[in-house]
Amino acid sequence: MDATEAESSYFNNYPPPKALNKHKALARAFIDLQVEKHRRVVLVTSGGTTVPLETQTVRFIDNFSAGTRGAASAEQFLENGYAVIFLHRQFSLLPYSRHYSHSTNCFLDFMDEDASSAIVVRSEYQTAMRDVLRKYRLAKQNNLLLVLPFTTVTEYMFELRALAHLMKPLGANALFYLAAAVSDFFIPRDRMAEHKIQSSEIPAHPNIRSNSNPLEDGDDVYTGYNEDQPSNKSKKLVIDLDPVPKFLHRLVDGWAPEGSMIVSFKLETDPNLLVYKARTSLQRYAHHLVIGNLLSTRKWEVVFVTPDPPHERWIRVPKTRRSKSISGEENLIGLAEGQHQDGQERGGQE
């Protein structure tokens, strides 16, 4: 199956997300405005995708991403004059409000009552909050920020494809900055349980095995069945996931506007693999930049892997500047923007 066939087989298998038409209408109006104003537009994806285990979803597989990178990057892009479409995991961090919404950064801790019982921002936070508020207002008033949510990996795919198509009129003014942590595995719809998976007496189902639904002889799916622990038998559940089709190919070759720039992220935990995997991704999809990061150091260092020299460039925030307010996004966006600009001056990315 080639990439186009894989695309239709995937998208034909799912109903589009309920909010897709509304999101498309919002995005169309937003993009038209930016085209009229000759602005550059970046699609920032952010946060983790879920993989539902049931159609009527009670349980799902998730990942660690809080959306910090995406939200901080969106702010920096706005600072650098881009309009931003922020496609993010619902309830993950958002540009600007992220400074006051984290569980360790509760907005209530920034507030106080004054003598007349009016709610005010505590004096020590006034300067920082005024700065954030002004930037947020500016972005909103000038229609520079469009915030769109997704939850599942399938919703993410539908949204990405639709937004990329809508961005076509932007040509070389479009930038894709794919920071969302997208699941590599999912349960295809035809194998997904409709109802909540039961912990006992699970009805027969091809991709979900329990010990109440034992494997047939010759079936090579691991069941988790442990003969030594008969008491555990009824509690085990084994999930059989398929790989998510690699749609970066389709984004590069079909969905995205001609001449646009595509930046993807590569996440690893093994330092020995990071640059190799980033390079392989760049070669495989022939896009413009892969930003590699390791789970444990992602806030302080990233590596830019590019097709042109220097091929590999590390950006590190010095130890002394590693505070909540100073992340690497400033440098990171500066460099990505530089590459986008070079491409635009050449009449589009090659």
User: Where does this chain bind ligand 9Z3 (CB under 6 A)?
Assistant: 65-69, 178-179, 181-182, 264-267, 293, 298
Q: Which CB, 236 or 277, lies closer to ligand 9Z3?
A: 277
Name which of 78 and 267 has its Cβ closer to ligand 9Z3.
Answer: 267
Q: 3-state class of 244 per DSSP?
A: coil
Q: How far apart are CA 152 and CA 299, in angstroms?
A: 25
Closest by Cα among 304, 306, 297, 295 to 327:
297
Question: Count H helices, E strands: the chain?
Answer: 8, 16
Task: Report which of 135, 149, 183 is spatially closest to residue 46, judged by C-alpha positions.
Answer: 149
- The residue (of 210 and 337) whose beta carbon lies closer to ligand 9Z3 is 337
Query: What does DSSP assign to residue 48?
Result: B
Q: 68 vs 210, which CB is nearer to ligand 9Z3?
A: 68
- Tell me the closest approach of the beta carbon of residue 281 to ligand 9Z3, in angstroms: 7
By C-beta, is 193 or 332 nearer to ligand 9Z3?
Answer: 332
CB 91 within 8 A of CB 65: no
CB within 8 Å of 48: residues ≥ 6 apart: 62, 63, 64, 65, 67, 89, 92, 180, 181, 182, 183
CB of 183 to ligand 9Z3, least distance (A): 8
Nearer CB in complex with ligand 9Z3: 34/154: 154
Nearest distance from C-beta of residue 230 to ligand 9Z3, angstroms: 40
| Closest separation in Å from C-beta 89 to ligand 9Z3 | 9
**Shortest reach from residue 179's CB to ligand 9Z3, in Å:** 5
State the nearest-atom distance from the C-beta of 112 to ligand 9Z3, in Å: 30
| Rounded Cα–Cα distance for residues 119 and 112 (Å) | 6
Report the C-alpha dihedral over residues 323, 89, 85, 340, rounded to 10 degrees.
60
Q: Minimum Å distance from CB 221 to ligand 9Z3?
A: 24
DSSP letter for each residue of 89-108: ETTS--TTGGGGTSTTS-GG
Closer to ligand 9Z3 by CB, 30 or 300: give it. Answer: 300
**Contact indicator for 313, 334 with CB cutoff of 8 Å:** no
Give me the least distance between CB of 333 and ligand 9Z3, in Å please.
13
Of 63 and 212, CB closest to ligand 9Z3? 63
Q: Which residues contact 234 (CB under 8 A, 6 or more apart)?
A: 199, 200, 210, 211, 212
Nearest to 14, CA basis, from 155, 137, 143 = 155
